[in-house]
Amino acid sequence: MDMQTTLRLTADTAGIARAAALLSEGRLVSFPTETVYGLGGDARQGRAVAAIYEAKGRPSFNPLIAHVASAEAARDLVAWSDEAERLAAAFWPGPLTLVLPLKEGHGVSSLVTAGLETLAVRVPAHPVAQALLEQVGGPVAAPSANPSGRISPTTAEHVLAGLSGRIAAVLDAGPCGVGVESTILGLSGEPVLLRPGGVAGEEIEAVLGAWLKRDESGAITAPGQLASHYAPEAAVRLNADRAEGDELLLGFGEMACDLNLSASGDLAEAAAALFAALHALDARGRPIAVAPIPERGLGVAINDRLRRAAAPR
């Protein structure tokens, strides 16, 4: 692939306009969302989508999320349902992705869906993402802006560390607030939680008034859900009370440790800090031990990412 100089754009009016113009030209731009930085390309331009896979070094069977500015824009792409309407009203804009059947005339490159009959759509809440999507005026395909298999980026520095020279620009708006990726909900049949994330499963159940089916193996519907993912270079050991040998301890709640996700035991604070903490500890070149995180609310998404970081590879 061609190496290029990656621009670092300030997320002001001029920077956002420049980023929108680059996307319309079929170039790749990393942009902030409330969850993590995305690696954006125009979803209607097959070559731009192909370049996303190339820049990430990602297996091409892994489908991408189409980002749009509003629920109205999403309804142009997918077959809408009653459940989708209720969930969009409750959580959009925000960290929830809905997988729905593609609608005729959607115009999205089949590389985005990797040939599936369904499309993952999301309306991000970050004001910079909102402004960018409004200006592009169409769907932007965006996986997290990290090389395939590596930790997701929550700052522009993380993006540049992994992708500098491989994308046209990064729109820098500082650290992301939520810190774990969106929750992915399959709605093409009975509602299925395909990936835990920034909206807790319990909150979705409250809106739907029904229990969600959990499908975290995702073998068929979400081919991207590889067991080893979000991986630091270092070995990762979970549910650790203390560091052993050379390990650095990533803590949660009041405890002695090298770095604490949230000393007060706040799961939202821990989610926002998670990927930056893994990046920081990984840079020290020693194995990482992680304290237990409660399996409720955002803790479900945090533990999912941690299990992938620790999986054998």
Binding site for Mg ion (CB under 5 A): 144
53, 60 in Cβ contact below 8 A?
A: yes
SS3 16: helix
Give every CB contact of residue 240 below 8 A, 6+ residues apart in sequence.
Answer: 247, 249, 289, 290, 291, 292
Taking the complex as a whole, how short is the minimal distance between the CB of residue 97 and ligand TXA, in angstroms? 5
Told to check if 193 binds ligand TXA by CB under 6 A, we report no
162, 74 in Cβ contact below 8 A?
A: no
Q: To 10 degrees, what angle do helices 299-310 and 267-282 make?
A: 20
Told to check if 30 binds ligand TXA by CB under 6 A, we report no
User: Which partner from the list Mg ion, ligand TXA, none does 116 bind, CB cut-off 5 to 8 Å by kind?
Assistant: ligand TXA
For residue 95, give the amino acid letter.
P
Told to check if 118 binds ligand TXA by CB under 6 A, we report yes
Q: What's the rounded Cα separation, in Å, for the pair 280 and 143?
A: 22
Told to check if 303 binds ligand TXA by CB under 6 A, we report no
Q: What's the rounded Cα separation, in Å, for the pair 179 and 43?
A: 24
- Binding map of ligand TXA across residues 124-163, x = CB under 6 A, - = no contact: x-----------------xxx-------------------
Residue 254 CA from chain centroid, whole number: 29
DSSP state letter for 144: B
Nearer to ligand TXA, 180 or 236 (CB): 180
Binding-site size, ligand TXA (CB under 6 A) = 31
Told to check if 65 binds ligand TXA by CB under 6 A, we report yes
Can you tell me which residue has the tokens 């949230």? 262
First to last CA, the chain: 26
Name the residue whose CB lies closest to ligand TXA.
224
Q: Which of 33, 154, 262, 303 is the binder for ligand TXA (CB under 6 A)?
A: 33
Nearer to ligand TXA, 110 or 239 (CB): 110
Name the residue whose CB lies closest to Mg ion.
144
DSSP state letter for 78: B
Told to check if 120 binds ligand TXA by CB under 6 A, we report yes
Q: Which of 23, 51, 116, 306 is the binder for ligand TXA (CB under 6 A)?
A: 116
Taking the complex as a whole, how short is the minimal distance between the CB of residue 167 and ligand TXA, in angstroms? 14
Closest CA to 99 of 217, 182, 209: 182
Taking the complex as a whole, how short is the minimal distance between the CB of residue 60 and ligand TXA, in angstroms? 12
Told to check if 64 binds ligand TXA by CB under 6 A, we report yes
- Binding map of ligand TXA across residues 236-275, x = CB under 6 A, - = no contact: ----------------------------------------
DSSP state letter for 297: T
Which residues in 204-233 contact ligand TXA (CB under 6 A)? 221-225
Told to check if 99 binds ligand TXA by CB under 6 A, we report yes
DSSP state letter for 30: E
Reported as type and span, the H/E element at residue 119 is strand 118-122
291, 249 in Cβ contact below 8 A?
A: yes
Contact set with ligand TXA (CB under 6 A): 33, 35-36, 38, 62-65, 95, 97, 99, 113, 116, 118-120, 122, 124, 142-144, 181-182, 184, 194-195, 221-225
